[in-house]
Amino acid sequence: MTSLLTTVEKPPTSRHLYSVIWLHGLGADGHDFEGIIPELKLTREANIHFVFPHAPVQPVTINGGMKMRAWYDILEMSLERKVDISGINDSCKMLKQLIEQELALGIVSENIVLAGFSQGGAIALHTGLTFPQKLAGIVALSTYLPTIEELLTKRSVENADTALFMAHGTHDPVVDIRVGKQAYSQLAAMQYPVEWYQYPMEHSVCMEEIDQIAEFINRVLTPK
């Protein structure tokens, strides 16, 4: 599972200066966040290449082994959320291939944002914080970080001060906000510049959150 992911893409309408790679959650696909682009109303939207990869189709243990798009297997539903670490590492390798594809187009790494929702957020965080070149920022929504122990040894010096945006619904029945807050606290303890936001919603995205994501992306994709 190390081949290049298939993607949904929105090319820039002007000169390509920036890239945003956005990962969906369990059971969804690359089209899931395609519609968020106009809602963000980003200052530099015309210069951004948006990439929405499809996760591989694989059996998911907590769903009775049913095959669906998933970035990794979830082995049990608990606050510990035992997961498939090797599957996470495989998806991280594939996401790194997508980043390298943007670099090959001439985009500097500091003009690339990773974003992800739920499972996709975990992959965006782990990949971004272990990537060997400086990224612009990471957006992690309604997610957690099951690879914190690995991150302690594999973290990238280049991304030690990369801006992180984390947000969660206070009534999330899928990913308990407590595991999201735990990930935030662990990253803050590791001295990452991580921002935390929470909203009165379930496992979803709301307009206030979209506005704050837009403010974050506008901030980290300033001309350098």
Q: Catalytic residue numbers?
A: 118, 172, 203
Task: Outline where 81-167 has alpha helix (H).
Answer: 85-104, 119-130, 148-154
Q: Which residue in the block uniquely carries the two structure tokens 């500091």?
A: 110
Contact 124, 24 (CB under 8 A): no
d(CA 33, CA 11): 15
Task: Outline where 76-118 has alpha helix (H).
Answer: 85-104
CA distances from 61 to 55, 66, 75, 136, 145 (A): 16, 7, 5, 35, 19
H/E element, 195: strand 194-199
d(CA 123, CA 37): 21
Count of CB atoms within 10 A of residue 163's CB?
Answer: 19
d(CA 206, CA 224): 30
d(CA 42, CA 39): 8
| Tokens at 113, concatenated | 């944002």
